[in-house]
Amino acid sequence: MATQDHKNTGAQPEEQEDAQPEPLPAPAGAQESADTQGVDDLLDEIDGVLESNAEEFVRGFVQKGGQ
């Protein structure tokens, strides 16, 4: 999962399939560590904004019925 992290951020991602049938493989180690770094950054960022006390917060989110 982590290996695809930043590939679909352009304006027209579907076109990549047509336009780039066989992208040249990047040096495997470098690509992998860059992606891992991206995921680590993302998780660090989310860690910083998650509500404190997950269990209590999730338990407290009680809604009344809707449509």
Partner 1 sequence: MHRVMGTETEYGIIAPGLLSANPTLLSSQVVNAYAATLREGLGNLAGTRWDYTDEAPLADARGWRLDRSAAHPTQLTDEAPVLTAEQIALERGEPADSAVLMNLVLNNGARLYVDHAHPEYSSPEVTNPHDAVLWDRAGDHVALTAMRRIASTPGFSPVHLYKNNTDNKSVSYGSHENYLVPRRVPFSQLAASLIPFFVSRQVLCGSGRVGIGALNQAPGYQISQRADFFENEIGLETTVRRPIINTRDEPHAVAEKYRRLHVIIGDANLNEVSNYLKLGTTALVLSLIEHGLAPLPELADPVRALQVISHDPTLTATVELADGRRLTGLNLQEIYFSAASRAADADPQTADVLRRWEGLLGTLRTDPSAAAGQVDWVAKLKVLQAYRDRDSLEWGDARLGLIDLQYADLRPDKGIYHRLARRGDVELLVGQAEVERAAVEPPRDTRAYFRGKCISTFPAQVVGASWDSIIFELPSQERLQRVQTREPLRGTAALTEQLFEQASDAEDFLARLLSGPEPSVAP
Shortest gap between Cβ of 27 and partner 1 (angstroms)? 21
- Tokens representing 4 are 């695809």
Query: How do the residues of the chain divide into helix, strand and coil, expressed in percent and rounded to 5?
Result: 55, 0, 45
According to CB under 8 A, which one of 19, 23, 28, 63 is a site residue for partner 1? 63
Q: How many CB atoms lie within 10 A of CB 16?
A: 13
Binding mask 6-45 for partner 1 (x = CB under 8 A): xxxxxx-xxx-x---------------------x--xx-x
Report whether 52 contacts 20 (CB < 8 A): no
Chain positions contacting partner 1, by CB under 8 A: 1-2, 4-11, 13-15, 17, 39, 42-43, 45-46, 49-51, 54-55, 57-67
